[in-house]
Structure 1
């Protein structure tokens, strides 16, 4: 996709001087990306997703820079130690739609001799809050679950993060397991990537040392069910303003990407995007090539439907509930959706057997040891 208008707008991101200018640019980028929405084949959807998430990453990185500059203008100085700004959720997986909220964290190096740890902590907590406010002004709503750098629980030094990870692995109740799954999607969008990689190393060492964690993660992963009934029929929303729509986000996309994520975590795979995880699962022999191909096709289709979901601007913030009216789905699209949901079901069943110690690969709808 080589669109001159889009290229020019992307080039402007690095020169935006404040949050209001960033918002204006984000609005113009949003409109241009809407005009370029792909119509069909998986390759164009994958390319569009890559460009769209490159746009989000660039806007977020600029928000970080603007927030650093605001700290300096306020007389707070430069960052006292190296740090990384982390994205989780769809941002961590590089799968944000046109409308996306903030799922973020801030990781900074432990202060060395001569630095007051409390002053360093206060500096980064103020920065984390500024970044969130800047992104809000740019149209990104905060995460409903408060997984965000303005929350002190998600803004910490390296030693604080590793202590949290240790605690979550050692005491894997529901909320701690949810946090661990969130962390598995984390990636550095700005700052010191080596620092983020060290934290990821600690995560996977813990995962390897706590084999029982997989069963707890499975319980969380299987929480959301694909939107098909007992006889393979689609299950639309029955009540409320979304009656007659199908929940693509929680009825297709989330059950699928969550299953792929857990297969990746149990296999020690560190990639965060769903496509990268599928390909690594194939390359490491955890998925047959034909099944990986089916998974890629399902993922591309779910991405396309998520892009069809209504984008809303509520109070200046972009929002998307992930639901698509059944009337927007042609008969072939409904048929394809049922087909790809079958892939999701087989993947989830395979994952359940894997966690139970009977690892098998899905293959043409059947099993193979």
Structure 2
């Protein structure tokens, strides 16, 4: 009988998460599917889920021992999630001296609870383990800064990928300046070492072509997505990667691609001309994927279900994305002006 209260507590937290998941499904069916509405739904759901994870952790480990910031990355950081999404997130916490080293253990535990809670309400775990349960993505302010500087000063493809992933971070709980001060650290390093911009370009410049020699949309030739078109990699990423590079060079902290377009300086008007195409692509992607019922298929579209006009429009957006990225490549890290 001694284990019964613990079992009951677990059921209590799980019932709340199950209720949130059912509410998610209900709200999604009633939602007017737009970029802003989907973002709002995900934001509210994630905050409520994280609060449950915090309460559960506090019931087992005591009160949260220090101020912390929970931030999301990937499509969540950019406010570009579809109906289904995976997890990309991290924790930065206050740790002032050696006496607070137990904070690391506490926040890793909290990170684990957040991962499990988000999974319960429908967010898949990140394949690359970019989650607050991973020591790499759960650190004190000082340790996170040291790690970021280490990534920037070690010339490896993997570390540059970590930096670019981090830069799409957006705080959804806790002090925003915990995150913004790290982005300022990145900007400061780039000011001192312009070669970093070239390294970032090398990391994102290997783009697959989405259109074949005969003007056809190139679909997957093998694997689980055989015969479908990868909207994320082939259509969205040239815009996403291009605007991220510009945001680093122009010291724009906003993680959302659309906001990065808006905050570009006036000399970038030629780049800003692509903003409306990107917004329309995001909106159309939501419509095309509105019947998808799982994360595994959310980024791939069956081109056979698109009519002739939709295929033509998709090809135009793909071409414009590649044009934009090539323009950015010439600008970033060079003395060229627009």
The question of a shared fold, defined as TM-score above 0.5 by the shorter chain, is answered with yes
* Distance 1:284-1:110 versus aligned 2 partners, 3 A rule: farther
Aligned partner of 2:228 in structure 1 is 245
Task: Assess if the C-alpha contact under 8 Å between 2:95 and 2:101 holds in 1.
Answer: no
The SS at the match of 2:171 is strand
Aligned partner of 1:217 in structure 2 is 200
Task: Assess if the C-alpha contact under 8 Å between 2:87 and 2:131 holds in 1.
Answer: yes
Deviation >4 Å, runs of 4+ = none
| Alignment counterpart, residue 285 of structure 2, candidates 305, 310, 314 | 305
Task: Assess if the C-alpha contact under 8 Å between 2:131 and 2:137 holds in 1.
Answer: yes
Q: Deviations for 1:118-176, whole angstroms, at most 9, x for unmatched residues? A: 21111111111111111111111111001100001110000100001111111131000
Task: Assess if the C-alpha contact under 8 Å between 2:267 and 2:337 holds in 1.
Answer: no
| Alignment counterpart, residue 61 of structure 1, candidates 43, 47, 60 | 47
User: TM-score scaled by structure 2?
Assistant: 0.89
* Mapping for residues 17-96 of structure 1, pairs under 5 Å: 18-36=13-31, 38=33, 48-74=34-60, 76-96=61-81
C-alpha separation in 1, matches of 2:286 and 2:232: 7
State the Cα RMSD in Å: 2.1
* Mapping for residues 313-328 of structure 1, pairs under 5 Å: 313=294, 318-328=295-305
| Alignment counterpart, residue 274 of structure 2, candidates 294, 307, 321 | 294
| Alignment counterpart, residue 100 of structure 1, candidates 78, 85, 88 | 85
| Alignment counterpart, residue 309 of structure 2, candidates 332, 337, 360 | 332
Check if 1:127 corresponds to 2:110.
yes
C-alpha separation in 1, matches of 2:186 and 2:196: 12
Tell me, which stretches of 5 or more residues in structure 2 are unaligned? 1-11
C-alpha separation in 1, matches of 2:225 and 2:150: 40
* Distance 1:37-1:254 versus aligned 2 partners, 3 A rule: farther
C-alpha separation in 1, matches of 2:248 and 2:27: 36
The SS at the match of 2:323 is helix
Task: Assess if the C-alpha contact under 8 Å between 1:125 and 1:152 holds in 2.
Answer: yes
* Distance 1:55-1:98 versus aligned 2 partners, 3 A rule: same
C-alpha separation in 2, matches of 1:308 and 1:23: 28
The SS at the match of 1:106 is strand
Task: Assess if the C-alpha contact under 8 Å between 1:132 and 1:149 holds in 2.
Answer: yes
